[in-house]
Amino acid sequence: MIQANAQYPSLFDRTVFITGGGSGIGAALTRAFHLQGARVAFIDIAEEASLQLVAELEAQTGRTPWFRLCDIRNVPSLQAAIHEAGEALGPIRVLVNNAARDDRHDWREVDTTYWDNGMAINLRPLFFAIQAAAPQMITAGGGSIINFGSISVQLALGGLSSYVSAKAAVHGLTRSLARDLGAEGIRVNTVVPGCIMTERQLEKWITPADEARIQEHQCLKLRLLPEHVAPIVMFLASDDSAQLTAHEFPVDGGWG
C-alpha cells in the first residue's frame, strides 16, 4: 500500500464526510483522512467491505470511523446521514463527493429508467449532499467540498454516455457552487481521476491489454491506484489550499 508522507495539521480533529468511502478510491480516502487524525464519517452500500475497513482502522489506530449504510439515490437518507454525522462528530468541514458507478451501456438500449438511475447515482447526490453539508460549514466558519469528475469527459469514450454526461455536469456544478458558497468561506473543487485500477475496474472492465494501452497514453508508465488519488484530496481539504476554488485537478499520470 502506498503511504502518503505529507501531514496537514489543519485536518487533525476536523470532521470529514465521504460518500462511497468503503471501497475503491473511497476506501483510500477514508484511510488517508483517518491517518491524518480527522474525524471521518463515510457512507456506502458495500456493507461488508465498509465494516472490514472500520475494523482495520480501529485496530490500527484505536479510533473508529463513523459509518452508515446508505444508498445515495435516496436523498432523504443521504441528507439524514450528513446531519447525523455532524451531530455525532461536530460540524462537517470537508465533504468528499466520491461515490459513483461507471457501468457500460449501449446507447441503443438506454431507456428513461436507466438514464434517470445513472443521474441519481452520478450527479444528483452531489448537489444534495452539498445542500445538507454547507450549512454546517457556514456555522463552522468555512469548509472544503471536493467533487469527483472523470477523465472520460475529456476522452470522448464510447459505451458510457450516461456516466460521461453526469460527470461533465459535475464540472459545471463545481463552478456554480464555488461562486454561490465562496462568500461563506467554502471552497468547491473537482478532482479528475485518470484510469484508476480499482478492484472493480480490473474485475469488470480493464484487461491486461487495456492496461497496456492506457499506459501508452500516460507520460508516467505506472499503474494508477486509489492511493495515488488521496494526496491531492488531502491537500484540497486542508487549509494549505485555502486560495483554491472552482478548479479541476487531474490525477492521470499525464494523459496525452
| Per-domain boundaries in the chain | 9-197+227-250
Q: What are 82-124's pLDDT values in tens digits?
A: 999 999 999 999 999 999 999 989 999 999 999 999 999 999 9
**Residue numbers annotated as active site:** 163
Q: Which CATH architecture has domain 9-197+227-250?
A: 3-Layer(aba) Sandwich (3.40)
Taking a C-beta distance cutoff of 8 angstroms, is the pair 55, 29 a contact?
no
242/225 Cα distance (integer angstroms): 27
96/186 Cα distance (integer angstroms): 13
Strands 143-148 and 15-19: unpaired
Give residue 3's pLDDT band: very low, low, confident or very high (50, 70, 90): low
- The type of residue at 20 is G
195/162 Cα distance (integer angstroms): 18
Average pLDDT for the chain: 95
Q: What are 157-206's pLDDT values in tens digits?
A: 889 999 999 999 999 999 999 999 999 999 999 999 999 988 887 787 68
